[in-house]
Amino acid sequence: MRPIASLCVGGLTDLTRRGLSVLAPSWALSRYQPFRSQSSAGDPLAAAAGWAVPRTLLELSDGGQQFTSSGCGIAFEDIDGLTEANRRDFEADFARDLARLATWAAEHDWAPLVVPRLRVVVSQRYRISKSLVPAWYGRAGHMEFPAWRVAARKAAIAHELVHVFFPNANRFLAEGLAVYLQSEIGGNPAFPNFGRPLHELARANVLAMAPGFAQGGPRSLDNIVLGQLDAIATPSPLELQVGTDFYGEEPRGQARIYPLAGSIVQFLIETRGMTAFRTLYSRTPLVPLRRNAGSPDRWSEAYGRSLADIEHEWKSLIVRCDAMTTEELKSNPREQNDA
């Protein structure tokens, strides 16, 4: 049995999908199509809905893996302007994305980190969401969300849950997987792409970062070197030097870099499969207070090719991506960093 999570929200619902037993609020899971059920007078979903039970255990079992933990708390602090409806929406969205991530993990044979307890804090004090950096400092399960993102229903919940249960000592891969899964299974638009296809946004960003590339070939992107990002260990922020321009921890820099990380993880999974990516990812497990970005050789061990070779293939894909209008491609990111 491998524990993963529990959720402190409303009443219990027992649903089954592909042998997975899910206990979660019916009003939350009914918004996720694969778990949808039709309520009726005799339906246990209808009877189970509500807020009478203060703690809800979300449990997924696939005959050998069980996703549970000893508890979870969602705290709302300094939240002037955050309504009761906002709070309920966030709790529902959290339940939904936790269920989706657990389902994804079971379907793709990813063993989650054992997390004794989730502590989720929503506050106006936070500028960005966090869970990976706290995990590196030994606070696994601690999650922070800005109240303004919660109010707008754009909190990167799936992204941060990936950091909790599948953290990584390589910051590039950690953020790449989190961005990719937020895009794939997250139930709401969130940083950095806010619903926009990752490859499309990556193309827009590399055009802004390397204006000379335009409709050129991948060699026109030589100033963008992903090896810089791959050398960064958690908890250091992703930083990238492109010619004379530096993209760092400021919102502009992160908004440029994070879609690149998500796009290449999507590329790796779609072109070479999940097993090889999982092998690469497993080479750099997160150990609190230890920095370990990993050896460049691990790319060849997992894929039989260097990162530079794979990067060239990815850039060829980005070059071929259908262009939006020139104005859209050259525009600066409009959303603030929230990763």
- 80-107: per-residue pLDDT in tens? 889 999 999 999 999 999 999 999 999 9
Task: Note the helical H segments in the chain.
Answer: 26-29, 44-48, 84-108, 132-136, 147-152, 157-165, 171-185, 198-209, 226-230, 251-272, 274-282, 297-303, 307-320, 326-330
Instruction: Extract long-range pairs of 211-218: CB within 8 Å, 24+ residues apart.
Output: 211/330, 213/319, 215/319, 215/323, 216/319, 217/316, 217/319, 218/312, 218/315, 218/316, 218/318, 218/319
Of 250 and 4, more confident? 250
Of 337 and 158, more confident? 158
Say whether pLDDT at 50 is over 70.
Answer: no
**Domain residue limits, the chain:** 14-167, 198-330
Band (pLDDT 50/70/90 cuts) for residue 337 is low
SS3 state of residue 212: coil
pTM: 0.79
Say whether pLDDT at 299 is over 60.
Answer: yes
pLDDT given at position 54: 24
pLDDT given at position 78: 83
pLDDT given at position 171: 98
Which tokens is 332 given?
């600066």
pLDDT given at position 319: 82
Of 326 and 261, more confident? 261
Determine the average pLDDT of the residues in 122-137. Answer: 97
Band (pLDDT 50/70/90 cuts) for residue 287 is very high
pLDDT given at position 215: 53
Of 112 and 60, more confident? 112
Band (pLDDT 50/70/90 cuts) for residue 178 is very high
Say whether pLDDT at 170 is over 70.
Answer: yes
Greatest C-alpha distance within the chain:
67
Say whether pLDDT at 10 is over 70.
Answer: no
